[in-house]
Structure 1
């Protein structure tokens, strides 16, 4: 099995050693105490209903009971959220926290050192948590394994941020949609930027095993070209069905699922046949692929907000014309496909591609989901119980129910009346600790 290049190990180790030293100078978050949260309205995403007069009993960061309010249990602290609507902590399944972010400068990820990337990742993690997203699936970073290190730093309490499920790196063809193309010859990129390069089914399987061994929670494959990658086309297949299946089989043997970046219909079908758990973007999905996804139970994670951001900000800031052209060719058709998927009953979960737009603005997508056929309740469910189901963690997160982590969000305005209210979170709790 491949080993992590020594310089990659040192980059990641030193980056987060520096980060931990800086954060040690700041105060640590309070430890979870027994609490009794009084909710004005409580959104039961399992039942799809809203209940008034409920209180949530929390001990050691876990929800113990949800019942009509009464006296505060002995030894517990009462939190009065009676003026708020309380929903489960939100989940974004398509984020890029441990990265430099999108800009007109193609070389920015290369110019940003591992240490700087670590600090940026910590900043992005805090913004995301403050926005009410207590869990994320981070679907890839140019500097491989930085997301693993960020997840571990959050879990250790060194960095405030959401619960993270991470991919480690992209499994992609040489010069494919997961590479940093157009900056220097790809062969000259640092080793930590090419951890997932694969040209055959055997190489793809080996890379998957390598990433799992380094702590990846799932595997991210690049099944088609990308909008925001030079020299690739979203409609064109990249990793073949056989390569994708090799990754799926390898990951399945380790109890790990695979997701596929796939814009074009051919690549989507290849990925579904190969057995991936979810499709990212699905911009150019056709009716046959929609039917295949429904029949197979394959999830779609469609980032229908950020096309407008790319067009507006990308044009203003001078992003590459290739990016802008591909974005225009995929934005509206993706939203049409999303609407069809909703009406067909295809499994849909919330994912935004944060990092393309500024972190912390994840909730802007909710209004788009409602505009394109979801009800407000369906949109909220997509970012709570449905997202948890995709992760296979519905008994731990995604709902306000006994046995789940005490991840809660409180909003002054009712998001069932105006889903955009989720863009202005008033209070956030993660693992029983009030973050804000």
Structure 2
């Protein structure tokens, strides 16, 4: 998608009144929380007052404290948590039976406009940060959010995923011969590599385009128009060339991977995280613990594609058996990884499923045997560790004032995560509870 066209689409959004004005944050706010989730310990504490000044948490005080100079926000019958981070989303798209044909019919501007609504839904569900792992729209959407043109989460954008020829993120998969010959084989500029030099060039191109993180497709994928969902698609040397070049620019590397061999190569090459990890073996888990590699399960996506694979016509014939086979496995893999001490962080692969439904991943994590407190930490303090940032993911003085709240206690009843009705990002309130 040409960046110029996407930029034009976002520039035109300034004419829309609904997005023209961001909420203004008072100088000082006092949030009176009935309960508070401590992301460091994973415990729910009693009543606290969170004092916010200039978009940052100034103090966290026990009890209900009245401040003469502060605007009071009463959340005394709710639990306050750090805003959640979803480490695997695709805000430029959303799965449907038309997804494959739309790539030939829609323009970049169409995807840009769609992403605006997806971003707002994500924020309103309690996700104040996301890592967008693949999509040319995402760096421009990030900039529009940062400029106050669009309501959405803080975005750490990968831009175009890096693949090999015919791999999961090869943009010409499924094209007929005439189109393939007309367009020509994609190369590093388009995120497709076949050598160490290509690998380095592809990372540098992502830097040129303004990415924040690098994403590689270390194995085949479920939804790509290709037969294999798990075959390895990079050599260890290629992964290492990507990681080493990414390190030059301060980037971390996330690896989409379903198959065992591809995961091993990605881990040995030095990636930060394995996404999906469907056929993770004991050997892979040992390597992950040895190298400190994070695991982002994306159980939601697995459940979603496995369900849709049962519907005639939802997926192309080449995709349907992969969706049925791989999708059903991911939750079991997440359970095994947790039992074996692999570091787990939160991600959904949303865009596969409907944006705004991200919190259901918590329910599926708990179903897999992951304690609710650990699942909540995965989307707060652990997600911040994966991103390599130290100013979010906790309700502590000096951190960003990314704060959400909901009725109930999500550690005692994980279903409470579906009831988020207060959202603050950088001290600005985007959602308030409805008054009865």
TM-score after normalising by structure 2: 0.93
Deviation at 1:51, TM superposition (A): 1.0
Q: How many residues align?
A: 425
Q: Residue 423 of structure 2 aligns with which residue?
A: 428
Instruction: Write the distance in 2 (CA, Å) between the matches of 1:188 and 1:67.
Output: 64
Instruction: Write the distance in 2 (CA, Å) between the matches of 1:189 and 1:358.
Output: 32
Q: Residue 3 of structure 1 aligns with which residue?
A: none
Q: Residue 148 of structure 2 aligns with which residue?
A: 157
Q: Residue 170 of structure 1 aligns with which residue?
A: 161
Instruction: Write the distance in 2 (CA, Å) between the matches of 1:281 and 1:340.
Output: 13
Instruction: Write the distance in 1 (CA, Å) between the matches of 2:256 and 2:181.
Output: 23
List alignment gaps of at least 5 residues for structure 2.
432-436
Q: Residue 28 of structure 1 aligns with which residue?
A: 21
Cα RMSD of the aligned pairs, angstroms, is 2.0
Deviation at 1:386, TM superposition (A): 0.6
2:116 to 114, 118, 122: 122
Deviation at 1:9, TM superposition (A): 3.7
Q: Residue 12 of structure 2 aligns with which residue?
A: 18
Deviation at 1:27, TM superposition (A): 4.4
Q: Residue 235 of structure 1 aligns with which residue?
A: 230
SS at match of 1:225: coil
Structure 1 residues 421, 193: CA separation in 2 closer, same or farther (over 3 Å shift)? Answer: farther
Structure 1 residues 286, 70: CA separation in 2 closer, same or farther (over 3 Å shift)? Answer: closer
Q: Retained in 2: the 8 A contact 1:105–1:319? A: no
Q: Residue 174 of structure 2 aligns with which residue?
A: 182
List alignment gaps of at least 5 residues for structure 1.
1-6
SS at match of 1:356: coil
* Alignment partner of 1:323 is 2:319: yes
Q: Residue 398 of structure 1 aligns with which residue?
A: 393
* Alignment partner of 1:41 is 2:35: yes
1:212 to 207, 210, 226: 207
Written as runs of structure 1 = structure 2, the 5 A alignment for 1:35-434 is 35-99=29-93, 101-141=95-135, 144=136, 146-180=137-171, 181-184=173-176, 185-186=179-180, 188=182, 195-316=190-311, 318-393=314-389, 395-434=390-429
Q: Retained in 1: the 8 A contact 2:31–2:49? A: yes
Deviation at 1:78, TM superposition (A): 0.6
Instruction: Write the distance in 1 (CA, Å) between the matches of 2:188 and 2:162.
Output: 11
Q: Retained in 2: the 8 A contact 1:349–1:386? A: yes
Structure 1 residues 73, 105: CA separation in 2 closer, same or farther (over 3 Å shift)? Answer: closer
- Further displaced range: 231-240 or 176-185: 176-185
TM-score after normalising by structure 1: 0.93
Deviation at 1:10, TM superposition (A): 2.4
